[in-house]
Amino acid sequence: MEATRDEPVTPAGRLFLQPHFNQIINCAIGFKEPLNTEAIKTEISDCLMVKHPRFCSLLVLDDHGREYWRRTQINLDDHIIIHHKDPGFDSDSDSYSEENIEEKINSLLADFAVSSPLSTDKPLWELHLISELKCVILRIHHSLGDGISLMSMFLASCKRLDGNNEVGFTEKNRENRGDAKKLRKRGLLEVLKIFWWTILSVIGFFGKSLWVSDTKTAVSGGDGVELWPRTAATAKFSLKDMKTVKGAIPNATINDVLFGIISSGFSKYLDIRSSHALQEGLKITGIAMVNLRKQPGLQEMSKLMEDDSRARWGNQFGMILLPIYCHTKDPDPLNYVKRAKVMIDQKKQSLEAHFSYNIGNLAMSLLGPKYASILNHRILCNTTFTISNMVGPQEELMFAGNPITYIRPTSSSLPHAITMHMVSYAGMANMQILVAKEIVPDPRFLAKCFEDGLLEMKNAAKNAVML
Strand order in the sheet with 282-291: 230-238, 428-436, 418-425, 385-390, 282-291, 317-326
Sign of CA dihedral 99, 395, 454, 350: positive
- Domain co-membership, 187 together with 139: no
Residue 400 falls within a domain, yes or no?
A: no
- pLDDT tens track, the chain, 467 positions: 345 688 999 888 888 998 878 899 999 999 999 999 999 999 998 888 888 888 999 999 988 888 999 999 999 999 999 987 765 555 555 556 888 899 999 999 999 999 788 999 999 999 999 988 999 999 999 999 888 888 888 888 888 887 766 665 444 444 444 444 444 556 788 888 888 999 998 899 889 988 899 999 999 999 999 999 999 999 999 999 999 999 999 999 999 999 999 999 999 999 999 878 888 889 999 999 988 877 655 555 555 555 544 457 778 888 999 999 999 888 899 999 999 999 999 999 999 999 999 888 888 888 888 888 888 899 999 999 999 998 888 889 999 999 999 999 999 999 999 999 999 999 999 999 999 999 999 999 999 999 999 999 999 998 876 65
Residue 408 amino acid letter: R
Residue 171 falls within a domain, yes or no?
A: no
- Domain co-membership, 310 together with 389: yes
- Domain co-membership, 122 together with 42: yes
Residue 311 falls within a domain, yes or no?
A: yes
Number of structural domains (the chain) is 2
Residue 1 falls within a domain, yes or no?
A: no
CATH number at residue 43: 3.30.559.10
Residue 312 falls within a domain, yes or no?
A: yes
- Domain co-membership, 87 together with 230: no
pTM for the model stands at 0.90
Give, rounded to a whole angstrom, the gap between the first and last alpha carbons of the chain: 75
List alpha helices for 85-187, DSSP H.
Answer: 98-115, 147-156, 171-182
Q: What count of other Cβ atoms lies within 10 Å of the Cβ of residue 414?
A: 25
Domain range enclosing 73: 7-160
- Domain co-membership, 70 together with 197: no
Residue 169 falls within a domain, yes or no?
A: no
CATH number at residue 194: 3.30.559.30
Residue 252 falls within a domain, yes or no?
A: yes
Can you give the pLDDT at residue 81? 94
CA 273 – CA 259 distance, rounded (Å): 21
- Domain co-membership, 314 together with 445: yes
